[in-house]
Amino acid sequence: MRILLVEDERKIASFIERGLKEEHYVVDVAYDGENGLFMAEVNTYDLIILDIMLPGKDGMAICKELRRKKITAPILMLTAKDKLRDKVQGLNSGADDYLTKPFAFEELLARVRVLLRRKKTEKTTTLKVADLELDQLRHKVKRADKEVGLTSKEYALLEYLMLNANQIVTRTMISEHVWNEDFDSFTNVIDVHINYLRNKIEKGFKKQLLHTVRGAGYILKDPK
């Protein structure tokens, strides 16, 4: 799952980004309001963590603008403003939740999970392709009931492939959804991770699920 973090305090941003990546989330970071709004408009995110006091454009204005443009990703406001009227204003601007600083990362993570779970209320949180299963809430992967251990990046890559099962995904699509804004898609990093992933989900199994489509990209499909 891909998260946008808009936070101008770089130490806090780095702390949150590192923690979320350790939990297998893909994280893009913006350090000012204008760039945060732009990234939220041009990319698809599963969740946006938004500070209120930002240079360029404040979080309240960003939230209202996103909702006006029908961008429905859950928004968690993260701010030092702890007055009741500030919380009410934040929620009324379109935010889904409001967390004040200072905070414990465990609470932030719990709120992130709740918002993502709420978003998927009407959808299954378990992705399946043949005998391969991925639990998006528990971040667990199994094949034929045997648990598969993946790194954070391998997990994010597999999740994206499973969300687009039976469709060809290009290197550009993968770089945009699994890596961050600054990723150089012309390196061989994607190929290396595809090979690592293929080895982990296919070694010891007869059916091949992950295929390379020469000149196009990759596809994860049920061979049936």
Run of H or E including 97: strand 97-100
CATH number of 126-220: 1.10.10.10
CATH number of 2-119: 3.40.50.2300
Q: What is the pTM of this model?
A: 0.62
Nearest to 137 by CA among 117, 154, 122: 117
Query: What is the tens place of the pLDDT at every residue in 42-51?
Result: 888 999 999 9
- Of residues 194 and 136, more confidently modeled: 194
Confidence of residue 131 (pLDDT cuts 50, 70, 90): very high
Confidence of residue 74 (pLDDT cuts 50, 70, 90): very high
Query: What is the tens place of the pLDDT at every residue in 148-185?
Result: 999 989 999 999 899 888 888 888 788 877 876 566 66
Q: Where are the domains of the chain?
A: 2-119, 126-220
Query: Mean pLDDT in the chain?
Result: 88
Phi and psi based region of residue 12 (left: phi greater than 0; alpha: psi -120 to 50; beta: remaining): alpha
